[in-house]
Structure 1
């Protein structure tokens, strides 16, 4: 087992592995820019000509939504609050099954380029389309910013490369190969990067487990320290993680991702609907394995610090719990040449996949939602050129925002995650309103989405400012942390202290504190640090109810419900005053909501734009 006093640095093997991943990603982008159809039209550039097969798209879909944030955040979540996070797998499974039954049959036959074109078709309102697209752009940019910032902080922690240089390196690389190669380069680089992601996380898990004495020892320490917890079944919505709120509350967050531009682009890039369903089915085991491995890594991280009897957070070597994962990885893997570099390549892969997907998706939104009329009569060359220009602009914007975010300690990141939670729910509600209720009109859609956004933002901001804090598990022992350790780790601590921007887990709600005394070989934690966190904590059942104390997992559901309820009620009230009442075509509704209705039919023109004809008339 590596000691905390060991000097850690990356060797030539580590840099070679990192270079292979980065150069390989760039090479794939160049290949698709210079071969094949070379993006001769917009459909080829943004949707790969709708000819992709299921397996690469499956790996791309997985890599897009399982970012570097998850690679760093899930193990830290387990260390801080326990393994209830594992029920997130149930939430993802339910969301994918619902998507197979409802989202794919809705979106695939429409042959969209932007998912927000659906809002124009359904509500016949340019304002609704623009509102949905604007909310989606804000959400996408927020996610891209954090996905880019996370690995930059990790690299600074590991080898001391300036954060600005890391942001520019990763951001520029992702922007270049996405701009040059289009969606094909995004999908195939995702496939390439998925290999590094799985190889990296499995290597960390196996090596870390071996260092602490094997899986049985990891499990025993996890149980003894309260990290292994899978039976919180309370119905109190203020408890941070329970079986019910993680399984069903988080389901709505993951369901919202299936109405996003990156997901829709992969759905419609597939040859057939049957293959699109296969993509979602194949993704389920991938996300299950991914999340189980990361939860197990959190237990290994706990066991490691308890076995060496030195918790760097309790000892003061680091100031923020989100510094724990890179700190742990560099010390456990430094003895094996190349493995630390493999893990950093894993983190970079997660970031690049999210960044590239976001850039390509936002470029599609720009040309289809905001500038479609301007480009309507332009040549394909002009359209592709402007699309690539937008890809560059969005990439540059992500780089700039990530660099600006590093100047702040935590609140900016928490605000970014607040915006994700606050935008995803209302945006999903807009789609559910239109696809479920035929009587929904544009007035109700606009008012419902706006009200949902305000409500969701108010709840998220109020929870951050006034909500009761979560109760963290005990810190680990510090009896093995001696003066020599502190001296030798001063440089590492200085770098790690900059990791404070990744504090998004702190703003959530409750778990329990368990008794470490049941495992006698584990020394007592730092009582002073522990008392600071728990001295005035009051259980939810012993304090007055407040909406601000609701678990963060309910935020997307609240935003969605407000959007649907307000939108439906207002639509019913205003329909009697409209000369032309909503009468959507059956294919614009979910399969289980499709009555036989008379309405205009949307047909696909030769230029892939949607035209309209009346039923019973000739085109």
Structure 2
């Protein structure tokens, strides 16, 4: 039954791709293939954007994050909410009226420079490929744990299915398969949450265990930027991570495919409750994991049943839901859906970058059929590249949420800064744009690599007990009930039970007394929380870009004079009267005579 449900999900996704390949205009024009003829409505595009950026990374990463570090992660909901509001007054009014296919066409229009366009597109391609690689690797790890299918086979399976239906069906296929996959994801996460909560003793027991083990924490308000998660860095720092996703090709390409600006605004509004529910359910699942594994007295990571913390959730699903035929298959389908949506959206967007940014000149006089053929070839090629990179990245051990922030923060922050620079300052020019974005990239990459190599390890919460784990390393030999937990129904007894539990020898630095809180350590920039990386990259890009623009404008014969439509609406009043508009003495004399 597990395999049947997985086959239904994969064949359903493939079927949608085939349907749109042979219906409507049959993807015969570039506008239909890449932009769905600009006729999409708000709800399906909303679900598509949600599925793209809340992929298998969140499905596996958020519960694991709660299990290892606590519930501070849920403050991402606040950051997401603020980013949607800001996106409605920046991204939509700036990009939608331009009717562009690639977001990097804006850079050419704004800075009047083909070099800036190509530079931005190259950075965007690297960012998208990095994100898709992690998103494809994550469910492969899950499948390897849950049903013992080799890692390489699951990577190829997801990669091939996603690449084929995206190549055939174009943007319509991507959006409507995302809708289908969104329903699968929500069905899967609610099923796991409800059944897992029942097996862990009910919501009250889950909450009690969460409090007793320190997982439930909502009041970390330290101002030290080295503290991994606080109210401030999650609400403010993560805001720029979420905002950077709006300044991406995948996001803008869907926004401009909508039939009206009013519907485009609805997309951002509808995304708020969908994403908030999704994050909340996954966070609650992390608490269920804690209650369940503490209850049976066996932490699978500490006991060695799994080797990678990103495998914790699928291991839990296999163990707690194995008595219900098909439910484990439903969850694996859920994780696959998240990966497929991210992969299909990404390779479709990368193909748009290839034909609109890198090959626009060679293809400008070619037939529509030729352009479409080249576009489909690029979709297929990018799919193959991501499959190969996912296989090479299989040894990554860190939390997938942090891996995503680090990879995307190192590129998306500076890239967003490039757009912010151009859309806020009329004085910004191509020299400043290139200098600013290059500086932002170098700074972000330096911080990302430096923190990985030299950063102080974050404090993890107390691991679970291994007292009831079997020496056979077999999931079948694990205890299958929480009876040991339910023997201690009152809070004091429960706390004593947890405190007296025999732990494995693998203990955190905090437990052994070696871990030093941030306020007691010598300051190191490599210890900064990963949450700040996108903001730092953006700020460096904007500040350096603005300063270099001001300096270089004194030596340029042609001063920047962007059209108002290329500036954020709220910045346009400040850019209407500029000395740079008077570019020649002839203009000044004419105005003087008038």
Answer yes or no: same fold by TM over 0.5: yes
CA spacing shift, 1:534–1:519, aligned 2, 3 Å? closer
The aligned counterpart of 2:56 is 68
The alignment status of 1:432 with 2:394, answered yes or no, reads no
Unaligned runs of 5+ in 1: 1-12, 493-514, 600-619
Contact 1:575 1:581 (C-alpha < 8 Å) held by counterparts? yes
CA spacing shift, 1:480–1:203, aligned 2, 3 Å? same
CA spacing shift, 1:156–1:315, aligned 2, 3 Å? closer
Shift of 1:154: 1.2
Contact 2:160 2:383 (C-alpha < 8 Å) held by counterparts? yes
| Alpha-carbon distance between aligned partners in 2 of 1:516 and 1:448, rounded to the nearest angstrom | 57
| Alpha-carbon distance between aligned partners in 1 of 2:477 and 2:369, rounded to the nearest angstrom | 52
| Alpha-carbon distance between aligned partners in 2 of 1:416 and 1:59, rounded to the nearest angstrom | 21
CA spacing shift, 1:487–1:229, aligned 2, 3 Å? closer
Contact 2:55 2:338 (C-alpha < 8 Å) held by counterparts? yes
Higher mean alpha-carbon deviation, 391-400 vs 413-422, is at: 413-422
| Alpha-carbon distance between aligned partners in 1 of 2:476 and 2:234, rounded to the nearest angstrom | 39
The aligned counterpart of 2:118 is 130
| Alpha-carbon distance between aligned partners in 2 of 1:580 and 1:58, rounded to the nearest angstrom | 42
Paired residues, number: 563
| Alpha-carbon distance between aligned partners in 1 of 2:124 and 2:269, rounded to the nearest angstrom | 25
The aligned counterpart of 2:378 is 390
The aligned counterpart of 1:290 is 278
CA spacing shift, 1:147–1:185, aligned 2, 3 Å? same
Contact 1:63 1:350 (C-alpha < 8 Å) held by counterparts? yes
Contact 2:141 2:310 (C-alpha < 8 Å) held by counterparts? no
1:26 to 11, 14, 22: 14
1:331 to 313, 316, 319: 319
The aligned counterpart of 2:527 is 549
The aligned counterpart of 1:577 is 555
| Alpha-carbon distance between aligned partners in 2 of 1:102 and 1:347, rounded to the nearest angstrom | 32
Shift of 1:418: 3.5
The Cα offsets for residues 6-29 of structure 1, whole Å up to 9 and x where unpaired, read as xxxxxxx11111111100000000
Shift of 1:521: 3.4
Contact 2:301 2:309 (C-alpha < 8 Å) held by counterparts? yes
Contact 1:174 1:355 (C-alpha < 8 Å) held by counterparts? yes
| Alpha-carbon distance between aligned partners in 2 of 1:207 and 1:220, rounded to the nearest angstrom | 18
- Spell out the pairing of 1:522-533 with structure 2 (5 A cutoff): 522=498, 523-526=500-503, 528-530=505-507
Contact 1:422 1:453 (C-alpha < 8 Å) held by counterparts? yes
| Alpha-carbon distance between aligned partners in 1 of 2:525 and 2:493, rounded to the nearest angstrom | 36
| Alpha-carbon distance between aligned partners in 2 of 1:74 and 1:103, rounded to the nearest angstrom | 27
Contact 1:471 1:534 (C-alpha < 8 Å) held by counterparts? no
Shift of 1:568: 0.1
Shift of 1:408: 6.2
The aligned counterpart of 1:488 is 474
The Cα offsets for residues 153-179 of structure 1, whole Å up to 9 and x where unpaired, read as 211111111222111111011000000
Shift of 1:320: 3.0
Contact 2:71 2:283 (C-alpha < 8 Å) held by counterparts? yes
| Alpha-carbon distance between aligned partners in 1 of 2:24 and 2:570, rounded to the nearest angstrom | 41
The alignment status of 1:182 with 2:170, answered yes or no, reads yes
The aligned counterpart of 2:35 is 47
- Spell out the pairing of 1:401-420 with structure 2 (5 A cutoff): 401-406=389-394, 418-420=406-408
The aligned counterpart of 2:581 is none
The aligned counterpart of 2:586 is none
- Spell out the pairing of 1:266-281 with structure 2 (5 A cutoff): 266-281=254-269
The Cα offsets for residues 313-359 of structure 1, whole Å up to 9 and x where unpaired, read as 22232333222111111111111111100000000000000000001
1:195 to 183, 187, 205: 183
Q: TM-score under structure 2 normalisation?
A: 0.92
- Give the secondary structure class of the aligned counterpart of 2:558: coil
The alignment status of 1:313 with 2:313, answered yes or no, reads no
The alignment status of 1:354 with 2:342, answered yes or no, reads yes
| Alpha-carbon distance between aligned partners in 1 of 2:226 and 2:145, rounded to the nearest angstrom | 35
Unaligned runs of 5+ in 2: 479-490, 579-594
| Alpha-carbon distance between aligned partners in 2 of 1:27 and 1:490, rounded to the nearest angstrom | 37
The aligned counterpart of 1:448 is 436
| Alpha-carbon distance between aligned partners in 1 of 2:143 and 2:55, rounded to the nearest angstrom | 16
> RMSD of aligned C-alpha atoms?
2.0
- Spell out the pairing of 1:563-574 with structure 2 (5 A cutoff): 563-574=541-552
Contact 2:462 2:508 (C-alpha < 8 Å) held by counterparts? no
